[in-house]
Amino acid sequence: MNNQSKSIRAASCSDDYDPNSMPVAKARALIARFLTPVSAIERLNIRAALDRVLAADVISPLDVPAHDNSAMDGYAVRCADLKTDGEVTLKIVGTAFAGVPYQGQVRAGECVRIMTGGVVPAECDTIVMQEHVEAKGDSVRIGGGHPQGQNLRRAGEDLKTGQIALKRGLLLRPAEIGLIASLGIGEVGVFRKLRVAFFSTGDELRSIGTPLGTGQIYDSNRYTIHGMLTRLGCEAIDMGVVRDDPKLLEQAFADAAAAADVVITSGGVSVGEADFVKDLLQRLGEVVFWKIAMKPGRPLAYGRIANAHFFGLPGNPVSVMVTFYQFVREALLKLSGRDPVPLLPAFKVPCMSNLKKAPGRTEFQRGVLAPDTSGNWSVRVTGEQGSGILRSMSEANCFIILPEAQGNVAAGMAVEVQVMEGVI
């Protein structure tokens, strides 16, 4: 922690450091400086390791494939027997099925019937597809023009013994689980899950199942945050709703920091409410910045409480999701041991809507990416963009990212989109 507090101070000493209006890219880079991934490792059966982060390189204990084998159903031949053009007739001396190799020798003028995955006899160097021959009894007629090595998978072509099959830091998806199984390995080391405690703040918040009084609303942020954390593979620790009371908040911050690697709160960081939270944090830990030059989500606090990282997200439901995906996601993945941290795919497409935008802040509008009837993709904005309208996140499949200096966008202009469909 000493290191961390030293670097927080160092960060705050740099020339253009303004904790009250941090450009998006700078805030990201600042956060990245404080992130030390978890190191504790659990050993798991490979099935249970799905969606976990690999904690050590997987080294191949064997050649994959283990033998030269056929990529096709056909005939294993000695290429020297074939003519460049013109036919030859070869004698079929045996069969090689997957898992049941041909045991004898293959002499000049001979060949072996072979199936996909069958071991190629030592004397053969070429596979001719069954569709390209004429078989009759125990012989086949084969035409010319079959290059040496055709349709043959070489031993060790995928992986050689001792080679790194998968690197530490990778997310174990079905492909990786299968790959580990293909090496005959049944257990792997994964990083322990990152523990993230979260709570909502606000006197107006009510829980589901209780009636709403005037001015009261149901707490939705805790549900969104729980979902986002679960998707990222974190252990989500729900600490409930905390009233806007300094004593209760102090206790909640302390409890959350003791229970988790990361503390996330929503609400209570906007003008008016922020001051006592700010004072509290300055007593319990340190604050790196308070406000980001972005919309939605301007009030976003980052710092630490005791030994935990702290993200104070805004209260508005859309701001919660935007700040989470733009800042918290990357940090949590890095802390979880992911290496490299995958970026959300981003690219430019024509925008079919007129967009209102004032220069000065980076905006993350909610968009729908879709192809037209000719298959050309473009984006349109989802109706109203108010930071309380959670439906805009539900309808969207991408963010439309408008840089700080950008003004209004006229329909037809190219804009940057960042895909969230299927990713988040």
Kindly list the distances between the CA atom of residue 285 and the CA atoms of 114, 261, 288, 303, in Å, as whole numbers in the listed order.
69, 14, 10, 7
Q: Give the helix/strand (H/E) hosting 31.
A: helix 24-32
Burial class (CB in 10 A: 0-12, 13-18, 19+), 94: middle
Closest CA to 20 of 289, 231, 204: 289
339 binds ligand AMP (CB under 6 A): no
139 binds ligand AMP (CB under 6 A): no
Nearer to ligand AMP, 192 or 206 (CB): 206
Q: DSSP letter for 364, please.
A: E
Closest CA to 356 of 410, 404, 393: 410
Nearer to ligand AMP, 266 or 336 (CB): 266
Which of ligand AMP, Mg ion, none does 221 bind, CB closer than 5 to 8 A by kind? ligand AMP
> Among residues 202, 312, 337, 367, which is the contact residue for ligand AMP, using CB under 6 A?
202
- Letters for 311-330 (x = contact with ligand AMP by CB under 6 A, - = none) are ---xxxx-------------
255 binds ligand AMP (CB under 6 A): no
> Among residues 118, 121, 169, 202, which is the contact residue for Mg ion, using CB under 5 A?
202
Measured distance CA(271)–CA(96) in Å, rounded: 76
Q: How far is the CB of 202 from Mg ion (least distance, A)?
A: 4
Nearer to ligand AMP, 118 or 297 (CB): 297
Six token digits for residue 183? 């090496």
Nearer to ligand AMP, 118 or 315 (CB): 315
Six token digits for residue 162? 């001792």
392 binds ligand AMP (CB under 6 A): no
Measured distance CA(222)–CA(190) in Å, rounded: 28
273 binds ligand AMP (CB under 6 A): yes
Burial class (CB in 10 A: 0-12, 13-18, 19+), 66: exposed
Q: Give the helix/strand (H/E) hosting 159.
A: none
Nearer to Mg ion, 121 or 267 (CB): 267
Q: How far is the CB of 200 from Mg ion (least distance, A)?
A: 9
Residue with tokens 């805004």: 314
Nearer to Mg ion, 285 or 315 (CB): 315
- Full DSSP string of 67-79: S-EESSSEEEE-G
19 binds ligand AMP (CB under 6 A): no
CA 76 to chain centroid = 43
Q: How far is the CB of 270 from Mg ion (least distance, A)?
A: 7
3-state secondary structure of 178: helix
Instruction: Report the 10 Å Cβ neighbour count for 321.
Output: 30
74 binds Mg ion (CB under 5 A): no
Q: How far is the CB of 246 from ligand AMP (least distance, A)?
A: 15
205 binds ligand AMP (CB under 6 A): yes
Nearer to Mg ion, 52 or 298 (CB): 298
Residues lying near Mg ion in the complex (CB under 5 A): 202, 267-268, 315
Residues lying near ligand AMP in the complex (CB under 6 A): 200, 202, 204-205, 217, 219-221, 266-270, 273, 314-317
